[in-house]
Amino acid sequence: MTLAWRVWGTYFESCNCDAICPCRRTNGAAGGRSTNGLCDFALSWWIKEGRHGETRLDGLTAVMVGSYEDGERSTPWRVAMLVDEKASVEAQAILADIFLGRAGGTPMANFTGAIGDVLSVRPATIRLDHRRGHERIDVGPAVQVEAGGAAAEDGAVSCGIPGHDRPGTEVHANRLAVDESALKFRYSGVCGFTTSFDYRSDR
């Protein structure tokens, strides 16, 4: 039997597109293909409250890094999943299942259907700062993201990953650096996006 679950909290991401990322909706207008035809990205979730059955997920974090090319059929993502090392082994598996879409629900409806290849899943020391104007992702040498100033007004931009019903703020990213599994890239002066998320099971 599939257990009911829900996680909600804050979200911050960066990719190698120019700000405002053309994949997003701006003032309700639909987006399009990536700036460079190749999208390298890092996504982060900080769960404020969460439960999977009787397992509590409050305060836990997760980071996904990946890459895809616009020219590939259905743009299959190649991703690596990093889950909070502070979580129990059971909770780490739950985090991976939720954010990779294996648990169904909102992530599958929003974005995980685009995942074509999961390169790795592992626990890691994840340090996030999702405060407005201070957004950071720090997973040691594996992932480093540092946001800069806002690139659009609050609420003008939305992204399909947290859901277009949750508009947020587009920001510039001073640094986007990943060295995890077969994914290795480094950029500066690219885009980022910050908002909240609320994912739940189909039940």
* Domains in the chain: boundaries: 5-200
Pairwise CA distance, residues 109 & 130, whole Å: 24
Residue 71: predicted pLDDT: 76
Pairwise CA distance, residues 88 & 19, whole Å: 37
pLDDT in single tens digits along all 203 residues of the chain: 578 999 999 999 999 999 999 999 998 888 778 899 999 999 999 999 999 999 999 999 999 999 999 877 666 999 999 999 999 999 999 999 999 999 999 999 999 999 999 999 999 999 999 999 999 999 999 999 999 999 988 899 999 999 999 999 999 999 999 999 999 999 999 999 999 999 999 85
CA angle 70, 144, 60 (to 5 degrees): 95
Pairwise CA distance, residues 51 & 67, whole Å: 29
Pairwise CA distance, residues 69 & 176, whole Å: 18
148: how many CB neighbours lie within 10 A of its CB? 18
Residue 203: predicted pLDDT: 59
Provide the percentage of residues in the chain whose pLDDT is more than 90. Answer: 86
CA angle 190, 196, 201 (to 5 degrees): 120
Say what the pTM is. Answer: 0.96
Residue 1: predicted pLDDT: 55
**What phi and psi values does residue 97 have, to the nearest 5 degrees?**
-65, -40
Q: Report which DSSP code applies to 4.
A: P
Residue 2: predicted pLDDT: 74
Closest CA relative to residue 143, chosen from 172, 181, 171? 181
Pairwise CA distance, residues 48 & 7, whole Å: 8
The residue type found at 156 is: A
> Beta strands of the chain (E only): which ranges?
5-15, 25-26, 38-52, 55-56, 61-69, 77-84, 115-124, 127-129, 136-139, 143-150, 157-158, 169-180, 183-187, 190-200
Cis peptide bond N-terminal to 20, omega within 30: yes
